[in-house]
């Protein structure tokens, strides 16, 4: 076996550096009042489930007041709780309950845009061109005869143009406003002092209520290229994302976080889609964000070399910043891992779809049994890597993507704006199955008459948490064991990864961390008896005559 080492400098440990964080898509987690929508009270009822799962923190997707055009990412009030989820008192109780159990609480911050129902935007539309109210957003005159053409050719991330024209107070067609996402999500102008000051207040409001950090939505998109020039096309619009001015926002926010130290250990994690690891590392300098999701691994196909190359890019590109890597394989915007790794024959994507979109929300023929095996193995691989790990709700149950939602039940604006070319994100957001009981598999109270906000397929019964808790070989049981063992087994003070090359097996990925070896077989052929590698601690699939089966992983203590 040939060894090769890759590591970065170690730094003083903070809780978030090695945390396992559970992403709660609140609307679909658990419904306590029977209205078919998950809520804070439902989450409180299941906090012990999360403690027993073995996680360190929860991240809540947006639960602010919102018209729900994009299910919370269109915020109408940044300093309150949406009535369908509860109220501030309920939120405070949830935070206290979580802290009592040793769990940190992260919220989702949406600084790039707000709701078209936000008081600022309503005032901007009512005030008219040139007004101070409009200066908080990006309003521009159209071009062409009577301004009927958008100010430039930028496109929305949800499909279609990134501009919408408003009716002026006098009833005539007027200016256009920028929205990188849905028409109901106007972009702020981050050069305006009111915007900067408001988000300072938002951060302090929630930190003072006990929140331990924020995941930052569209973190690279706040500033736009001055002059708003036409985009030349291609994969990435550098005029709308990753502008150098955005780094000053995070330096300012880091100073706010640091003002709570040493009594409070707070954190930011950025949702940052950028062209390469060097761009991502720029956000992780010591005076900016603490963490940023490493999405590159999530986009890789089921291939040992491509996984290894991606991991190496993270270790060598992010390690020198002093930040730890933030790993994830799933979230509320991508297809579930069982489905992504179970595609055996991919559909030909429409030429208009972005290449990253095709990777994270693919379509095709799915072998869920194969996808399940691969997903279990990938979870073990991820937990063996140095850094923090984010687990999307339902992944611990091995839920596949719901691909066949009826069109009339779909709610994701990406589905509508792309005219169905993008399958959208609803399939990963279907409410969780807690039990086998009708009508909603325990998501809502048994006596509830309201249907879940998205329909659950009947096959969800096979994945119910209550049944998996009885099965020592279930995907839930594997996650519970892996998260428990991970905390005790892997060193937090040694982030070195030593690769192990297996002659004749380019479908095997293996590395050592401390005294632990992680081995993962990507192909179908079993790997020779594991006794040669060390004493077995955990495996994702049953061994056959001591061999590690194909599409599975194992952890071993090195002799």
Catalytic residues: 217, 271
List Cα–Cα distances, 312 to 139, 146, 349, 497, 511, in angstroms.
43, 54, 29, 9, 12
Of how many residues is the chain composed? 559
In terms of Cα–Cα distance, which of 398, 329, 380, 335 is closest to 552? Answer: 380
Based on the number of CB atoms within 10 Å of its own CB, is 2 exposed (0-12), middle (13-18) or buried (19 or more)? exposed
Cα dihedral: 239, 240, 246, 250 (round 10) = -160
Q: How far is CA 233 from CA 222, 230, 354, in A?
A: 20, 9, 11
CA distance 507 to 303: 7
Tell how strand 508-513 and strand 497-501 pair up: antiparallel
3-state secondary structure of 444: coil
DSSP letter for each residue of 466-535: HHHTT-TTSHHHHHHHHHHHHHHHS-SS---EEEEE-TT-TTEEEEEETTEEEEEE-SSSPEEEGGGT-E
User: 223 near 243, Cβ under 8 Å?
Assistant: yes
End-to-end alpha carbon distance in the chain: 15
Report yes or no: 330 and 337 within 8 Å, Cβ to Cβ: yes
């Amino acid at each position: 076996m040939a060894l090769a080492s890759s590591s970065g400098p170690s730094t003083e440990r903070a809780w978030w550096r090695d945390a396992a964080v559970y992403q709660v898509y609140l609307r679909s987690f658990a419904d306590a009042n029977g209205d078919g929508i998950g809520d804070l009270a439902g989450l409180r009822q299941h906090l012990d489930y999360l403690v027993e799962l073995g996680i360190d923190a929860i991240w809540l997707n947006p639960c602010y007041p919102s018209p729900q055009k994009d299910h919370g990412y269109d915020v109408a009030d940044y300093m309150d709780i949406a009535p369908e989820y509860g109220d501030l008192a309920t939120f405070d109780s949830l935070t206290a309950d979580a802290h009592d159990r040793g769990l940190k609480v992260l919220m989702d911050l949406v600084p790039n845009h707000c709701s078209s129902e936000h008081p600022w935007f309503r005032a901007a539309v009512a005030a008219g061109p040139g007004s101070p109210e409009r200066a908080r957003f990006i309003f521009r005159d159209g071009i062409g005869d009577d301004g009927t053409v958008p100010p430039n050719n930028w496109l929305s991330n949800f499909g279609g143009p990134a501009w919408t024209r408003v009716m002026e107070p006098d009833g005539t067609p007027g200016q256009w406003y920028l929205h990188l996402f849905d028409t109901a999500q106007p972009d702020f102008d981050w050069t305006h002092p009111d915007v900067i000051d408001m988000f300072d207040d938002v951060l302090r409001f929630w930190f003072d209520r006990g929140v331990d950090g924020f995941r930052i939505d569209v973190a690279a998109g706040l500033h736009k290229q001055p002059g708003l020039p036409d985009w030349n096309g291609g994969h990435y619009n550098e005029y709308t994302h990753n502008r150098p001015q955005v780094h000053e926002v995070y330096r300012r926010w880091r100073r706010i976080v640091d003002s709570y130290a040493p009594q409070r250990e707070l954190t930011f994690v950025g949702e940052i889609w950028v062209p390469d690891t060097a761009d991502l590392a720029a956000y992780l300098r010591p005076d900016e964000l603490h963490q940023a999701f490493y999405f590159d691994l999530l986009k890789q196909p089921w291939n040992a070399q491509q996984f290894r190359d991606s991991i190496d890019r993270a270790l060598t590109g992010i390690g020198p910043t002093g930040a730890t890597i933030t790993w994830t394989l799933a979230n509320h915007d991508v297809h579930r891992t069982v489905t992504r790794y179970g595609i055996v024959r991919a559909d030909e994507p429409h030429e208009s779809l972005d290449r990253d979109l095709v990777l994270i929300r693919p379509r095709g023929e799915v072998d869920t049994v194969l996808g399940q095996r691969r997903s279990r193995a990938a979870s073990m691989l991820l937990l063996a890597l140095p850094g923090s790990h984010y687990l999307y709700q339902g992944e611990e149950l091995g839920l596949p993507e719901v691909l066949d939602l009826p069109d009339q039940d779909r709610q994701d604006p990406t589905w509508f704006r792309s005219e169905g070319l993008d399958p959208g994100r609803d399939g990963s957001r279907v409410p969780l199955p807690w039990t086998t009981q009708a009508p909603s598999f325990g998501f809502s109270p048994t006596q509830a008459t309201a249907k879940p906000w998205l329909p659950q397929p009947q096959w969800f019964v096979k994945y119910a948490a209550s049944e998996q808790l009885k099965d020592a070989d279930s995907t839930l049981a594997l996650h519970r064991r892996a998260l428990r063992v991970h905390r005790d087994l892997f060193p937090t003070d040694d982030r070195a990864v030593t690769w192990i090359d297996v002659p004749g097996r380019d479908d095997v990925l293996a590395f050592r961390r401390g005294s632990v070896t992680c081995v993962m077989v990507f192909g179908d052929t079993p790997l020779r008896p594991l006794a040669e590698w060390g004493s077995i601690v955990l495996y994702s699939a049953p061994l056959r005559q001591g061999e590690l089966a194909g599409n599975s992983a194992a952890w071993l203590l090195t002799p």
